Amino acid sequence: MSEEKLEIFTLYDEDHYATIIQRIASLSSDTQPKWGKMTVAQMLAHCAEIIEVTNGKPLLNTPFYIKIIKGVIRKLVVDNNPYPRNSKTHPQYKQTEEKDFQAEKKRLLNIMDEFVNDPKEEAAKKEHPLFGQMTEEEKGWSMYKHLDYHLNQFGV
């Protein structure tokens, strides 16, 4: 049985970025997930939080077991295998409170813009709090892969 591999895209590519923006624009506050427990607003908040951490926001309260398996998690994040549905996430990324759709959509779009427009030399200095130093390719792909996963979750 062969494993499905994803074609590697990057959020740093203008066309790939534009496609993600269009997909986000097609969401509405009542878009329902195909799987999982998050609402669409919670999903947007979750995605924004992950990009914020990649952009330098502290990652707090990392459980010890996550620190032990961070290499395995990093591999899942940067390889071209699809994420398993309903994967566990870091406690900081969990979204259980009610969220405002428009506010979270704006937050995500703003942090995506900051991510792709961060000067290369500045972005290169930013070390991920769990995964350590990541290349531009790893950052661009991992952010695209994560957004793609959740946009597929919501059917866009």
**What's the whole-number mean pLDDT along residues 54-68?**
95
The end-to-end CA distance of the chain, in Å, is 28
**Residue 6 falls inside a structural domain:** no
Q: How confident is residue 116, by pLDDT bands cut at 50, 70 and 90? A: very high
Task: Provide mean pLDDT across the span 62-84.
Answer: 95
| pLDDT given for residue 72 in this prediction | 95
Kindly tell me the sign of the dihedral angle through the C-alpha atoms of 62, 76, 147, 101. negative
Q: Is residue 5 part of a domain?
A: no
Q: pTM to 2 decimals?
A: 0.95
Domain that holds residue 128: 14-153
Instruction: With respect to residue 100, please indicate whether it lies within any of the assigned structural domains.
Output: yes
Average pLDDT on 131-137 reads: 96
The reported pLDDT for the residue numbered 1 is 46
Return the residue matching tokens 């996963």.
149
Question: CA 106: distance to chain centroid?
Answer: 15
Average pLDDT over residues 112-124: 95
- pLDDT for res 150: 98
Which residues pair with residue 132 across a beta bridge? 128
Classify residue 57: in a domain, yes or no: yes
Main-chain dihedrals φ then ψ at residue 103, nearest 5 degrees: -65, -40
- Residue 8 located in a structural domain: no
Whole-number Cα distances in Å, 150 to 99, 121, 122: 16, 29, 28
Please say if the pLDDT value at position 66 is more than 50.
Answer: yes
- Structural domain contains residue 38: yes
pLDDT digits (tens, 9 = 90+) for 5-33: 899 999 999 999 999 999 999 999 999 99
For residue 3, what pLDDT band results from cuts at 50, 70 and 90? low
The residue behind tokens 């405002």 is 100
Q: What are the backbone angles phi and psi of residue 128, rounded to the nearest 5°?
A: -65, 135
pLDDT value of residue 138: 97
Domain membership of residue 1 (yes or no) is: no
The two tokens of residue 10 are 């990057």
- Domain tally for the chain? 1
